[in-house]
Structure 1
Amino acid sequence: MAEGQPSSIIVPKYLQEDELSEDVRDLISTLPTDKGWFVNTIYQYQGFWHVPRQLQGLLNCQKHFKAQDTDILLATQPKSGTTWLKALTFSLINRKTKYPITLNHDHPLFSNNPHALVPFLEFDLFHVKDVVPDLSLFSSPRLFATHLPYVSLPESVKDSDCKIVYLCRDPKDTFISLWHFSNSLRLFKGTNPLKDSFDQFCRGINVGGPFWDHILSYWKESLLSLEKPKKKVMFLRYEELKMNTSFILKNLAEFLGCPFSKEEEDQGLVDDILKLCSFENLKNLEVNKNGKRPSGIANKAYFRRGEIGDWKNHLTHEMVDQLNTIVENKMGNFGFKF
């Protein structure tokens, strides 16, 4: 039960910490800890910070997930455009088979939150203790998502020919979006002061942090994959995706082995996918205004603004300089810039 929580209130699953297996309990007792943004405590494992529920899924996933060569894995840090990437990729790979693109409410996105259509490995599939999910119902290509850093992915993912799409976002906007999202999950606890959360973020202490190591882990792999016969990792930036969505969507289709035909382009299918998956369309659907995830998180929490540069409304000049300096110091030597 959360601290200060009324006894009559049912705690949503994302705040529960008592459904952990013995091996996870043993593990977290040995790990570095810090104050969580919406749960009481987060834990550092393999160099990154996790909530207990994610650690349960991480360990189960590492032990039991067997990647197939045709799998597609969408990897992000929290609040980096994950929901949008899920919607775009789901629509893209299913347009010729199960779910032709339609704007008349027949498509699954009209009645399902994107997170329900593209499950997280660690949060939705492997999060239950002592249970290995049956993935035989997923048709090929199987489409999954993760917030895990590259180092923590199951070895079968690294060893197979499955494809990884990584989406990152300017850390200033990532921070603001994460701060708002975390505050929406802090039942009975009030709001995290912006300055306190910012200080933690700059020290790398947040779910999925440090942000610079998470991004660099996939950036390096994307560069290595360019030297291989088959490109394994496609690295995307949220800002470029927002400004040139059509072009990048076509590149994504090529990478995933389902390129648009000339006929599809002439018919306006690219634009139809962009309309279907647009922020405004998804945000205003009934399922995303009033529905909830099985974890208890309201679907509307995933649709705040989706803009570039919202950080300008929250961060001081000193904060901006501090984050920019961190990016340069931590990432500049690897040829990475925002």
Structure 2
Amino acid sequence: MDSDERLLHFKGFNFERSTVDIDILENLEDFDIRDDDVFIITYPKSGTIWTQQILSLIYFETHRKQTENVETADLVPSLEYNIRKVDFTKRPSPRVFCSHLPYYLVPNGLKNKKAKIVYIYRNPKDVITSYFHFSNFVAVLEGCENMDMFIHKFLDGKVAGSLWFDHVKGWYEHRHKFNILFVSYEEMKKDLKSAVQKLCNFLGKELSDDDVDAVVRQATFKNMKSDSRANLSNILKKEVGTKSDGHFMRKGTIGDWKNHFTVAQSERFDMIFQRKMKDIPLKFIWDINEE
């Protein structure tokens, strides 16, 4: 199966064909939004699962106190990749979703600025690196023999999620239409506690210092990697399929791209990035030591 057959092209955007919920896609515009809904929106491989865990811990006390054994993906389901065909209309409020949708495909109800959006963005060289490994791990995605091939595919937007530049720029340039907070993957990585407090402030959630500490502790990469409820490994292996015995949560570091990009690849990407993102003031951190 070639890459085009694995992708579903819908209104100018690429979805992974075999796991996307077509019924939801076709009715997205009229999807009923509640005032207290929260959406995590990301480009793929930008910290989606991590943010799902963080918001699960913020919103659901039983998850935070570990008194209920529920998968994070069930507490914060994907809107368009609704693998388990959940009836979202029957979910109690507050509902928290995650999504890779571009700004122009989200439900119209999000534009009344009552429901909240947390947009997580990550430096694109690490996105590419993570996506390259992910596509070679998950059965439904087309793998690439080498990084050079994947970079070309990524820059052509021939992946689920389409073109990274369009996704980030689209959301940023249309931010005034939504009640939205932009948070970078790197700022969460460098100071998770401050990021959790920032998220709580935006979401209007007042947690005690002990509860904030509990969120931070359970949302570290190490703890999530060892918690099958939080790392999606069960869902991937049982319901999506994998090509190997690898792990969904691979490294979660900043700057891993340096271990995979050649100097020429890095310089070429920098030129494209500077041209396409010159008018976008979002701060990008390319290495853990970079301020």
How far 1:274 moved relative to its partner? 0.9
Mark the CA change 1:107 to 1:321 in structure 2 (over 3 Å): closer, same or farther.
farther
Tell me which residue corresponds to 1:228: none
With normalisation by structure 2, the TM-score equals 0.85
How far 1:206 moved relative to its partner? 1.4
How far 1:140 moved relative to its partner? 1.5
* Counterpart among 265, 270, 280 of residue 324 in structure 1: 270
Alignment of 1:1-338 (within 5 A): 35-36=2-3, 40-53=5-18, 54=20, 56=22, 59-95=25-61, 99=62, 101-102=64-65, 106-108=66-68, 111-124=69-82, 134-159=87-112, 161-186=114-139, 191-222=144-175, 224=176, 232-260=179-207, 264-265=208-209, 268-287=210-229, 288=231, 291-293=234-236, 295-297=239-241, 301-338=247-284
3-state DSSP of counterpart to 1:74 = strand
Corresponding residue pairs, total: 279
Deviation per residue, 1:207-244 (Å, 9 max, x gap) = 1121011011222233x26xxxxx70001110011112
Percent identical pairs in the alignment equals 28
3-state DSSP of counterpart to 1:201 = helix
Deviation per residue, 1:7-54 (Å, 9 max, x gap) = xxxxxxxxxxxxxxxxxxxxxxxxxxxx52xx7442443333223243
Deviation per residue, 1:116-152 (Å, 9 max, x gap) = 3211111117x86xxxx53343221111111111111
Q: Name the CA distance, whole Å, in 2 between partners of 1:87 and 1:166.
A: 15
Tell me which residue corresponds to 2:288: none
Q: Name the CA distance, whole Å, in 1 between partners of 2:116 and 2:140.
A: 37
How far 1:330 moved relative to its partner? 1.0
Residue 17 of structure 2 aligns with an amino acid whose one-letter code is: P
Query: Which entry has the higher C-alpha Rg, 1 or 2?
Result: 1
How far 1:324 moved relative to its partner? 1.7
Mark the CA change 1:279 to 1:291 in structure 2 (over 3 Å): closer, same or farther.
same
Mark the CA change 1:295 to 1:154 in structure 2 (over 3 Å): closer, same or farther.
farther
Q: Name the CA distance, whole Å, in 1 between partners of 2:255 and 2:192.
A: 17
How far 1:311 moved relative to its partner? 0.6
Structure 2, unpaired ranges of 5+? 285-291
With normalisation by structure 1, the TM-score equals 0.74
Residue 239 of structure 2 aligns with an amino acid whose one-letter code is: S
